[in-house]
Amino acid sequence: MPDQRTEGQVGEDGRIGSGLAAVRERLEGELGRRLVHVSGAGIPLLYVLGLPYAWLQILLVGGVAIVGGLELLRLRAGLADWWIFEHLTREYESETIAGYALYVVGMAVVAVAFDPQIAIPSMFMLAVADPVGGVLGGADPTPVKPARAFVGAFVVCLLVGLPFLPPLVAAAGGVAASVADGVFAEFRGYVIDDNLTIPIGAAAAIALMLAYGPGWIG
């Protein structure tokens, strides 16, 4: 049966198809990775919704074992072309531990090392600081992100920290998280991933403020 659509309808369908393809490409690229990053806020949210902290710790330690196994498959077994790896990893991670795995490790470290008052806001800061800093920092990587990236990351970290911490303590965690996000860190030729430095840095700053800050902030 001949196509009954008018030339205008065909053109409209083509534009819709192109638009959907563009959306899909973005979701499968950097935007998709950032959405996955933000979705990690669901992990500390489980505690907020009532999951016992010990179970959250077990969940994260189990998560470390799972991502460790996935990374072994990717790096040692030649399975880097799996769909999950194509959409969770970047090109420069082809021969190193990927950021998604270090994300889980970073959360697990603070969950095991700190109590919930410190660990939970640090996990939320990890989930929001990197995507916000990445969007505001622009597409071209630089050793130090623009000031707007620091400010944006700090503001969202402060907002997610305030429900759990005194304002000055939340601000200290936000400063640590935004610096960890905004400054490229390297040690002896190895890049230090901000999925580790954001939660650990934020938790350390919060812990120090609670332990040694002025008495009126506790």
| pLDDT (0 to 100) of residue 189 | 66
Q: Which domain holds residue 77?
A: 31-217
| pLDDT grade for 117, boundaries at 50, 70 and 90 | very high
Would residue 20 count as lying in a domain? no
Would residue 183 count as lying in a domain? yes
Residue 190 parent element (H or E): strand 190-191
Q: What pTM does this model have?
A: 0.80
Would residue 26 count as lying in a domain? no
Q: What is the pLDDT of residues 153-184, one digit of tens each?
A: 999 999 999 999 999 999 999 999 999 988 87
Contact 198, 153 (CB under 8 A): no
Helix 147-161, helix 116-137: angle, nearest 10: 150
Would residue 9 count as lying in a domain? no
Dihedral pair phi/psi, residue 29, rounded to 5°: -110, -135
More confident: 68 or 91: 68
| pLDDT grade for 201, boundaries at 50, 70 and 90 | very high
| pLDDT grade for 217, boundaries at 50, 70 and 90 | low
Would residue 3 count as lying in a domain? no
pLDDT at 110 over 60: yes
| pLDDT (0 to 100) of residue 47 | 98
Domain count, the chain: 1
Would residue 19 count as lying in a domain? no
